Structure 1
Amino acid sequence: MKTIELKGSAREIAERSSDQTRAIREIRNNGGVPCVLYGGETNHHFTVKASDLRGLVYTPDIHVVNIDLEGKQFMAILQDIQFHPVSDKILHVDFKEINETNPIVMEVPIKLQGLAKGVKAGGKLQSQMRKLKVRALYTNIPERLVIDVTKLELGKTIKVGEVSFENLDILNAKEAVICAVRLTRAARGLAGTASADSAE
């Protein structure tokens, strides 16, 4: 996986909810985003600049995040993001602390590779899933899960249970369809014409 650096400032959690709400509103008004890092010995509440999150959030890539909290270093992955329902502004981010000994669960983008036999025969390759959920040590998780579709024939599918990757456990349902080659309308028309001609 790629890595990205992120610098945060620790924030206090107010005892009263009204004070906490006011503090969070002020953070956002000043261009910050409240965050939480959990999964380690203790949870850390901190703030980052909204602009610093762009390279992490607005990308299809997955990252290990090196978080600097006022001189203390943590490795993490992005776990959850809350967006404003109207403006799509980032409201809150959860990070999960990781290490080299404990497996993590995350969704990894799929890359379909090759020219399918079914496409050569007039079909269209359709992707049904953009990511697969895997469990593994973070050091074993690739940037992309490459799936070869060269042998995929017209009308056939590739299901989750038919693929495997070294050192990864796939958590999606085995019957879920990753991709398929469907017969296009144009190909159906040509097939119908050919049938009619042969009948004559």
Structure 2
Amino acid sequence: MSEVLLNAVVRNETGKRMNRLRSTDKIPGVYYAHGETNINITATPLAMKPLIYTTNTHLINLKLDNGESKTCILRDVQFDPITDRPVHFDLQGVKENEELTVQIPVVLNGSPKGVKDGGTIQHIMHKVRVSCLPKFIPEQIILDISDLGMNDSIHVRDIKIENVRVLDNAASAVVAVVPPTVVKEEVAAVPGAVTDATVAAATTAAEPEVIAKGKKPVEGEAAPAKK
């Protein structure tokens, strides 16, 4: 994977005083690593831009103003909820002989056969969690989806990267091609329209009531004989 140079300044300001740094167009951050003392730092938005506004994962060559140099990765960035500007970042130090866990972006390549038949692409997992040595960290995972037909999918178990262990559930779907959703339209009743139910009701109402002629026989008596 590619390496990005980041120049930063060691800072003493903490807590509320970090707001003063932000007002001078500087982003406060922290570098930390297992077995090392945390280092509070600041960097400019321009220096951070290649690390924040990208879908790729990079190793960072951190150069401090005191002459120290660190190899690390960007672990987290916090943004202002109103302005969406970065307000803080975390850098995690790495060692070349120790594996680390990172999330790698998934990029889709190609036009699936199923889409040409009317299907829709569902990109379910946009990042995949992997573990490997720093030198083997992939910038991104590119999946060729050209051969996916209708109802086909690619699962985590299908991702094979040399020297990299994929940690997510093997049965999880990363991308799939699904049939279009068919919405059944219900026809609204039109006032005054003639329906089968209306015709049936009208026919029943039009039938005349049949009334028998002659005296109704009293219970227990025989009916009068016909003449």
Q: TM-score, normalised by structure 1?
A: 0.81
Q: Who is 2:2 aligned against?
A: 2
Unaligned runs of 5+ in 2: 184-227
User: Equivalent residue for 2:104?
Assistant: 108
For residue 195 of structure 2, what is the aligned residue in structure 1?
Answer: none
How many residues matched? Answer: 181
Q: Secondary structure of 2:18's match?
A: helix
Aligned residue for 1:6, secondary structure, equals strand
In structure 1, the residue matched to 2:115 is 119
Q: Distance in 1 between matches of 2:127 and 2:58?
A: 15
In structure 2, the residue matched to 1:198 is none
Any idea what SS the aligned residue of 2:63 has? strand
CA drift at 1:21: 2.8
Distance 2:169 2:138 in 1: 21
- Name the structure where strand makes up a greater proportion of residues: 1
Distance (Å, rounded) in 2 between the aligned partners of 1:75 and 1:113: 31
SS at match of 1:110: strand
> Is 82-91 or 153-162 further displaced after alignment?
153-162
2:149 equivalent to 1:149: no
Query: Within the alignment, does 1:133 sit opposite 2:129 as a pair?
Result: yes
* Structure 1 stretches of at least 4 aligned residues deviating more than 4 Å after TM superposition: none
- TM-score computed with the length of structure 2 as normaliser: 0.72
RMSD value, Cα: 2.0
Q: How far apart, CA to CA, are the structure 2 residues paired with 1:116 and 1:88? A: 35
Looking at structure 1, the residues matched to 111 and 20 of structure 2 have their Cα atoms a distance apart, in angstroms, of 53
Amino acid at match of 2:143: I
- The runs of 5 or more residues in structure 1 that have no matched partner are 14-19, 190-200
Mapping for residues 74-85 of structure 1, pairs under 5 Å: 74-85=70-81
Mapped partners of 1:67, 1:24: distance in 2? 21
Match of 2:190?
none
- Paired with 2:115 and 2:87, the residues of 1 have a C-alpha distance of 43
